[in-house]
Structure 1
Amino acid sequence: MSKFPTIPRRIVTGINGGKSVIIEDAQVTNVSEDFPGLVISDVWATNTMPVDLSKELSIPNTAIPVTPPNGTYFRYVSIPPDKDLGIPATQEHNRHPLFHQTDTIDYIIIASGEIYLVLEEEEVKLSTGDIVIQRGTNHAWSNRSDQPCIQLAVLIDAKHSG
């Protein structure tokens, strides 16, 4: 069983009268559960570089992220087992129904559980503590275990060269 809650708590800091303070301490409300058991929460987003520390950007939660131009996402994802999403165990790895590609560089940490990173030509099994640098490739996540996998990800707007 995962040690993480289904819906994460978010603590936001800020400055008040020149002193650092807690601006918000609450369970996140920007949560999407489009597929049974798949929880996606885009916890924070920005749309400028350098980042404007005085503003929060409200964004819609989507299964496939749409990072704002010159922006970032901080994303919490709880991925249930494939069988709970109706994905057959015999699914060919390069035909996974959740394949997608974004114009981002993604820094992903597997916080709990295990999952397969599926690419067009190969795949790799990831476990708690593994880190992925995902550079705009077509990919999918396949949870072949019996437990949810928690990912924490920072997605940064990027462009393909050439």
Structure 2
Amino acid sequence: MNRIPRRIVTGIQNGKSTIIEDYEVENTVEHLPGLIISDLWNTQKTPASMDFEAPIPNTGFPQTPKNGTYFRYVVIPPDKNLGVEFKPGEPHPMMHRTQTLDYIIILSGELYLIMEEGETLLKAGDIVIQRGTNHAWSNRSDKSCIQLAVLIDGGE
């Protein structure tokens, strides 16, 4: 399974800032061959609590808490490795919608963002603001794509 970078969590001890946690991420799940998800952090409300948040289970489609957030690391393998076949003129088989506002950063590789009307190729460094719309991800390359996403409850 893909190695997820370290997760470092800061906090306050004895009135001074300190590093509370520093370790390799352990909550990593491979939902489909090569599709690796790690939900790194969450908040349960807004404004966010600065206290420790309980670990959350990794799910294929996030269950963002009401008024909360998810911070998610995703490795998306090539479509051919997933057995996903996209037929022009038909909805993408991975089309989905979440009731969240998502900030997504492509860290490496490339990936198509597919909408009901149109698509665009994303490359490392690109940023997507995904506003609760139907969408799918399609990796038509030969290498995995890594993205980071912050999902914010859309309140709908």
Q: Percent identity?
A: 63
Q: Does 1:49 align with 2:55?
A: no
Match of 2:26 among 23, 29, 32: 29
Query: Is residue 142 of structure 2 the alignment partner of residue 146 of structure 1?
Result: yes
Structure 2 runs not aligned, ≥5 long: none
How big is the shift at 1:112?
0.6
Matches within 5 A, 1:113-132: 113-132=109-128
CA offsets 1:31-79 (integer angstroms, 9 cap, x no match): 1111011110000000111111012132111111110001000000010
- Tell whether the 8 Å contact from 1:94 to 1:118 is kept in structure 2 after alignment: no
Matched AA of 1:73: Y
Aligned to 1:111: 107
CA RMSD of aligned residues (A): 1.4
Match of 1:99 in 2: 95
Structure 1: distance between partners of 2:27 and 2:89: 31
Contact 1:93 1:118 in 2 (8 A): no
TM-score, structure 2 normalization? 0.94
CA distance in 2, matches of 1:79, 1:118: 14
Does 1:64 pair with 2:61? yes
* Separation of aligned partners in 2, 1:96 and 1:8: 30
Unaligned stretches of 5+ residues in structure 1: none
Equivalent position of 1:7 in the other structure: 4
